[in-house]
Copies of this chain bind each other. A is one copy, B any other.
Amino acid sequence: MNVMRSNLILCLLVPIVVCQSGFSQNTLQERLGYSVDAKVVIIHADDLGVAHAENTASIDALENGSVTSASAMVPCPWFREVAEYAKANDGKHDLGLHLTVTCEWKNYKWGPVASLDQVSTLVDSVGHFHSDCASFAEGLDLEELEIELTAQVEKAISMGLNPTHLDTHMGCLFFQNPQIFEIYLNLGKKYGLPAFVSEDLFAIYPALKTMMSDDDILIKKVYSASPRDFAAGMSQYYEKVLRSLQPGLSIVIIHAALDSPEMQAITVDHPDWGAAWRQAEYDFFISDDCKKIIQEEGIHLVTWREVGQLTK
């Protein structure tokens, strides 16, 4: 190889190396094209598919409000409505999968996507998912979990919803044990999808941090109303969140639905994350007030699709 040729190769390689090195050191907001001190946020609606009232409000908030991304529960009866929307919407709005391993409501039930006898540890005596994360994790066969989560992704794709990202209903895939978390992360890798994880998680479960690779997206901060915030007023809470947002990539997680008889019946005896709660979140994130605050605070709204591009 002559000197000229080797110099040429060096010249071609150097910027690539510099770029890659810079790439890995840059903050997520910079990699998304913003300055290091930019406040960048995904406003995310969970639980699509659970009810028509949830789909109606969430899709409206995606189309006309400040919500930038949403995720749907494949095992739920109203998932077809989301899939049909996804096909008609043709990728215009972010839609991910809210991987579901529980069924928390009193009188309204669903079960797994996979064949019952392949996932028997995921269900109760009549074939419904368990009602909370602790019951889900107790006696869980990890292979069965992988079968079910894969079945949810495959069903969504076969019904016409090509997900932009993955997350986890009720956080059940976060809080139980590292092996569950690993299955969740690997599912994202298998399908080339960002799987929602935030730094807050590691304050609770430090062991999980070691399982993250450099390629994984790590959201800096999660904001989501607690029962105390709901009691004090949803709009006050979210205005405070948006006004006090710190630089970096954050996520605001809401549950938008109409406070209708359907939603009231689903959430009966459960005011927290209930129908009025969901209507209040919807009301705020569809409002002009919310848009004004976002503009005044110089907040940049982004989607999971944009974030996912960083991992390609």
Task: Give A residues with C-beta under 8 Å from B.
Answer: 51-53, 56, 76-81, 84, 106-110, 113-118, 125-127, 155, 158-159, 258, 260-262, 265-266
Question: Which residue of chain B has the shortest Cβ distance to A51 in the bound complex?
Answer: B262
Chain B residues, Cβ within 8 Å of A80: 106-109
Please give, as numbers and ranges, the residues of chain B lying within 8 Å of A77 by CB-CB distance: 76-77, 108-110
Q: If A118-B117, A262-B261, A262-B262 touch, does A127 touch B155 (CB 8 Å cutoff)?
A: yes
> How many copies of this kind of chain does the complex include?
2
> What residues on B are CB-neighbors of A265 within 8 Å?
52, 56, 81
A114: chain B residues within 8 A (beta carbon): 116
Complex Cα gap A108–B84 (Å): 11
What distance in Å separates the Cβ of A128 from its nearest Cβ neighbour in chain B? Answer: 8
Q: How far is the CB of A245 from chain B (nearest CB, A)?
A: 35
B107 with A127: CB separation less than 8 A: no
Q: Is there contact, CB below 8 Å, between B117 and A53? A: no
| 6 nearest A-B residue pairs (beta carbon) | A81-B107, A115-B116, A262-B262, A52-B265, A115-B117, A77-B77
In the bound complex, residues from chain B placing their C-beta under 8 Å from that of A109 are 77, 79-80
Inter-chain pairs besides A81-B108, A260-B261, 5 sampled, C-beta below 8 Å: A53-B261, A56-B265, A77-B109, A81-B265, A117-B117
Q: Is the CB of B110 within 8 A of A127?
A: no
Chain B residues, CB < 8 A from A262: 51-53, 260-262
Cβ-defined contact, B52 with A126, below 8 A: no
The answer for the CA separation of A53 and B260 in the assembled complex, in Å, is 11
CB <8 Å contact, A126 and B84: no
Report the bound CA distance from A159 to B52 in whole Å: 26
Select from chain B the residue with minimum beta-carbon distance to A107: B81
Which chain B residues border A116 with CB–CB below 8 Å? 114-116
Residue of B nearest to A50 (CB): B77
